[in-house]
Amino acid sequence: MREISKQFDFKEREDAIYKLWEGSSFFNPDNIKSTKKYCNVLPPPNANGELHLGHASGYTVMDIFGRFERMQGKKVLLLPGKDHAGIQTQVVFERKLKAEQGISRHEMGREKFYQACYDFCMDRSQYMRAQEKKIGISADWSREKFTLDPAGLKIALETFVQMYKDGLVYKGHRIINWCSRCGTALADVEVEHKEQAGKLYYIKYPVKDSKEFLTVATTRPETMLGDTAVAVNPKDKRFLSFIGQNLILPLQNREIPVIADRRIDMEFGTGAVKITPAHDPLDWQIGKDHKLEEISVIDEKAKITANGGEYEGFDVLGARAKIVVDLQTLGFLEKEESLANNVSVCERCKTVIEPLISNQWFVKVDDEKISLKKQALELIKSGKVEIYPENFKKILIQWFSNLQDWCISRQIWWGPQFPVWYREKSKVESRKSKVNGEQEIYVGLEKPKGDGWVQDENTFDTWFSSSQWPYSTLGYPNGKDAKNFYPTDAMITGRDLLFFWAARMLMMGSYRTDKTPFKNLYFTGLVRDKDGQKFSKSKGNGIDPMDIINKFGADALRLSLVMDIAPGQDSRLSEEKIEGFRNFVTKLWNIFRYCTQADENFALVEKISKKDLKTLSDNWIVCELEETTRNVTEFMKDKNISLAQDTLRKFTWDSFADWYVEIHKLEKNTKVLGYVLDKILKLWHPFTPFVTEEIYQQMFDGRKMLMMAQWPKNPKKCIDTKVQIDFADLQELIAKIRNIRSSYHIDPVNLIEGFGKKKIEKEIIERLARVKIETGKGVKAKMIQVATRKRALQLNIAKSIDMEKELISIDKEIVNLENLIAKNEGMLKNKNFVAGAPKEILEATKTRIGEYMDKLQIQKELKKNLKAI
RNA sequence: GGGCAAUUAGCUCAAUGGCUAGAGCAUCUCGAUUACACCGAGAGGGUUAUAGGUUCGAGUCCUAUAUUGCCCACCA
C-alpha cells in the first residue's frame, strides 16, 4: 500500500503539476482536436508591478470557466498578455528613477527613457507571468502579448487611421483636464473628484460708469484674471437691468459684459457667475455659445501666464492668496464663506487638475454617420453581449448616453506615438496630404515620402490600444486566430474598469469589426479586507496572493476568491476564510486517502451499471451525484460559480464524506466509491485544479491527465425520489438517536441497546449513531422510542428518562406539525391557489401534508407510549 | 443634483416567486472512531431594515422611508 501524507503537500507539488500541464501542450488550443471552441482574451495587467488579489480573483474566474469549457471538449484559448499602461507606468518608473538614480525623465531624454521603461516592463512582465502560473491559470503562453508588440500595435494604429478617414478622430482646440505633474491631458474618466473643505469668495465687480457693483462668488479667485464675462440667469429678476452692461474687471481693469445664460443656477452664491472660458469646462461652453474671448492665464505647469499681469509666475495657490489680499485691500472682497466643494485630481498621481485649453486629439463618440456610442448601446440592448450581473447593463446604458468626446492624446513619453506627420505648407505639396492651416498633415502608419515631415509628439491614451485588445491580440482581420476565435466568448474584468475599458472595448470592437468583441461580459467585484476596507499600500493592509499560496496553497486561494461571491459585488477576504478553504482541500485529500487505504484494489471508475448498485446507500449516493452533476453543470452555464461550488461542497463533504464514506466502511462497495470519487475530481477540477490533478496523477500513475478529462455527463433523468426519501428517512432516524445521545450525555462506551423492528439497517445505524441494536420486541422500563415514517427503535438507555423534558419536546413538535398541516391545508382550501398554482406545487403540497400527518401520528404514539411507562 | 447597489443568525455571506429561510466562521456540549482534530456528533442563535402594495403564495416583484457603500455630474 502506498504511503499518503495526511495533507496535500501543495508546496512540494503545485509547481510540478503546473509544469505537467504546461508540458502537455494542451494550453495551446491548436493541440486539441475539436470543432467546438472557447476563447477568452485575458485582461492584461499593467506591466509595472506585481499581481494583487484583484488580479488573482479575476484570473481564478477566467481559469474556472476556461477549464470547465476545456473539459466540455472544446478548443480553449486563454490568451494572456500585459498592458504598457501609459501614464501609470510612467509615474511608477519616474519614481523609481528618482529613487534609484536621483534623476528625472528630462535628464534622461525621451529615447533613453522609453527604452529603459520598456526594459522595466519586460522585467516586470516576466515576474508577473511567474505569479500567474502560481495561481494555476491554464493560459497559452506561446501566444502571450504585450500592448506595444508591433503586430498588435499596428492593428490598433490602423484603427486610428481608419477613424481619421471616417472623421471619427479630430484634433481640436478644446478645454481639457490637465495634470501639471504628469504634464499631460487626461480623459474625463481619468479624473477623480474629491470633496474638500474650500472657501467661497464673494467679489464685487464694479459696473462701468456707475457706482453699482455686481457681486460674483467663486472658489477659484485666481481665474478671474482670465474672466471675459459675468453671466446671470435670464429669469433672474435681480439682474435684469445688468444684462448687456459692461463691468470693470478688478485687478485687470478690463471691460467685460454681463450676459444671460440659462445654465446659471440662481440659487447658488449670488446668482452671478464670473466666466473664465479658458479654465472651466462650463465657462468654456458658455464662452463658445456667446463667442467670448478665451484668455489663458494658467499654463501647463500650473503657473500664472503673462496674461495674468503682475501675477505672472505665481503658482495657482500663491496667486490665489495674493489676489484675495489685494482684493481686500482694494475693497472688492465682500466676504468669504466656508464651502465643501469637489476638487478634481489626477487619477494616477492625485495632483489637482487644471482645466485649460489645449490642442488635443479627440474621438468623436456620437458622429452623425457613425455613432460609436449608439453602436455600443445597440450591442448591449440587443443582447449580442450578455452582461453579468445583469444590472450593470443599466449602468452602462446610462454612461453611454451621457458620453462626451474622448480625449486620446497624452503628452507623456511612455506609449505609442500618433501615426500623424506634419510639415510646413511652403515645402513640397503632396496630393495625399491634407492642408491644415499653415501645415500639411498626413495620417498613416508609415512616414510619408519626402523631406521635412515631423511626427506628432503625442502618445496615445493607454485605453485607446487596450480597448482593441480582444481583436488586436488575435491578429484581426486576417490572422488565423481572429478567424477561429473572434468574437471571443468571454471578457471577465473588475467592475472598476467598467467605463475605462469595458465600455470602450464595446465601442471600438463594434466600430472596427462590426461585431461584439465578446459574447459575455462578466464583472468581478473588489476584494476588500475583513473590515471591508480597500486593500492599499498606504494602509498597509495588503495581502500578497503569493504569501497566501505559500501558506495555504493555490487551491485554497482560488476557492476563497470566488466562493460565496456574487458577480460585480465586492467581497471580503480574511485569513480565517482562506483557512476554511484550505481545510476543504485537506478534506478532499483525505477522502482520497481513505479510498486508497480502504481497499488495495481501489481505482477510479469511469462508468458503472445498475447492477453495481447493491444497497440503498449505493443507490442514494449515485442519485445524489447525478443531481449534483446536473445542478453544477447548469450553474456553470449560468455563470454562477458560487452556487456551483456550494452545491459541490455540500455533496462532497456532507453527502459523500460524512455519510457514504462512513457507510462504505461497512458495506465496502469499492466500485461505487471509485465511481463517485472519479466524478468528484472532475467536477472540482476547474475550481481546485492542483489537488484534483495530483490525486488523478497518483491514481493513474501519470498515464492520464485530469485537465483533459471529460466533464461528467449531465444525466437526463436522474432522480429516484423513492431512494432519496428512503435514505433521508434513515438519516433522520440516526439524527434522532444522536440527538438523544447528546441530550442525555451518554458516554460512547455505554452504547444504547435498541430493540429494532425488522428491516432496519442495523449495522449502519449501529456505526453512525453508535448504538448497539438487539432485534427483539417489547417495551421495557426506561425505554425511549425513536421513530421516523419508515423506521422505529426503542432505546434502552442507562440513565433514567427525563419524562418532563421528553414530553415538552414532543408537545412542541406536535404543535409545530399541527401548524404546518393547518397552513398547507389552508392553501388547498383556497380556490385561488388550486386554480393558480402549477400542478407540481399542488402535488407537492398534498404530499407534504401526508408527510406531516404521518409524523404527527408518530409523535402522538410516542407520547402515548411515554406516558404508559 | 442624478444613478447603482446593499440591508437575512454574533460575524462573513447564500437562497430559480413555491419544501419548516440555509452555509461557513464564532459560541456551548460531547467525542482519541482502523481518511481527515485542518476531524466527527449535537445544540443554541431569525419579526429577512421599516411601512405599505401586487400575488393563490414575497427574503425574492412594485412604491415609499431609513441607514450604509459605490459611481457619475459643469454648484461657479
ipTM: 0.94
pLDDT of residue A786 exceeding 90, the answer is no
Distance A46 CA to B44 C1' (A): 50
pLDDT band at A489 (very low <50, low <70, confident <90, very high): very high
Query: What strands lie across the sheet with A406-407, from one edge to the other?
Result: A184-186, A169-179, A353-363, A406-407
pLDDT at A263: 85
- With a cut of 70, say whether residue A781 has pLDDT above it: no
Closest alpha carbon to A850 in A817, A827, A826: A817
Tell me, rounded to whole angstroms, the distance of Cα A37 from its chain centroid: 24
Spacing of A138 CA from B52 C1' in Å: 53
Beta-carbon contacts of A240 under 8 Å, excluding residues fewer than 6 positions away, are: none
Rg (CA), chain A: 36
Summarize the confidence of residues A151-168 as an average pLDDT. Answer: 95
Nucleotides on strand B lying under 7 Å from protein C-beta:
3-6, 12-16, 18-20, 23-25, 29-43, 55-57, 71-76
* CA-to-C1' span, A573 to B12 (A): 9
pLDDT of residue A538: 66
**Phi/psi of residue A232, nearest 5 degrees:** -135, 160
Per DSSP, chain A holds a count of helices (H) and strands (E) of: 27, 30
Better pLDDT: A377 or A540 = A377
H helices present in A29-72, as ranges: 53-71
* Confidence bin at A361 (pLDDT 50/70/90): very high
* Averaged pLDDT, A615-644: 91
Which residue, A264, A349, A249, A241, is CA-closest to A302? A349
pLDDT tens track for A277-322: 989 988 988 888 888 888 899 988 888 988 888 888 899 888 899 8
Spatial contact of A344 and A191, defined as CB atoms under 8 Å apart = yes
> Bridge partners of A199?
A338
Query: Nearest nucleotide to A399 by CA–C1' distance?
Result: B72
The predicted model gives A702-731 an average pLDDT of 85
Residue A794: beta bridge partners?
A755, A785
Using the CB atom, is residue A339 less than 7 Å from strand B?
A: yes
CA of A851 to C1' of B18 (A): 17
Is residue A719's pLDDT more than 70?
Answer: no
A320 touches strand B (CB under 7 A): no
Q: How many CB atoms lie within 10 A of CB A731?
A: 15
Q: In this predicted structure, what is the pLDDT of residue A788?
A: 86
> How many C-alpha atoms does A311 have within 13 Å on its Cβ side?
29
Contact at 8 Å (CB) between A216 and A273?
Answer: yes
Q: Is residue A452 over pLDDT 90?
A: no
pLDDT of A685 reads 96
A529 touches strand B (CB under 7 A): no
Q: How many CB atoms lie within 10 A of CB A576?
A: 9
* Helix, strand, coil percentages, rounded to 5, for chain A: 50, 20, 35
pLDDT at A253 over 90: no
- Is any atom of nucleic acid chain B found less than 7 Å from the CB of residue A47? no
Is there contact between A337 and strand B, defined as CB under 7 Å from any strand atom?
no
Nearest to A218 by CA among A327, A296, A309: A327
Q: Which residue is nearest to nucleotide B13 (CA to C1')?
A: A564
Single pTM value for the model: 0.91
Query: Is the confidence at residue A868, as pLDDT, over 80?
Result: no
A535-588 pLDDT per residue, tens: 776 666 678 899 999 999 999 999 998 887 888 888 888 888 899 999 999 999
| Protein residue closest to B39, using CA and C1' | A587
Q: How far is the CA of A391 from the C1' of B76 (A)?
A: 35
Residue A267 has pLDDT above 90, yes or no: no
Alpha helices for A600-744 (secondary structure H)? 616-637, 641-649, 661-667, 670-684, 689-700, 721-743
Strand B within 7 A of A738 CB: yes
Q: Which of residues 150-209 of A touch strand B (CB under 7 A)?
A: 188-189, 191-193, 200
Q: Give the residue, A594 or A774, on which the prediction is more confident.
A: A594
pLDDT confidence bin for A274, thresholds 50/70/90: very high
Summarised one tens digit per residue, pLDDT across range A405-447 is 888 999 989 999 999 999 887 655 554 555 555 788 899 999 9
**Residues sharing a CB contact under 8 Å with residue A484, sequence separation 6 or more, in sequence order:** A37, A39, A75
Report pLDDT for A533: 79
| Mean pLDDT, chain A, integer | 88
Q: Is residue A844's beta carbon less than 7 angstroms from any atom in nucleic acid strand B? A: yes
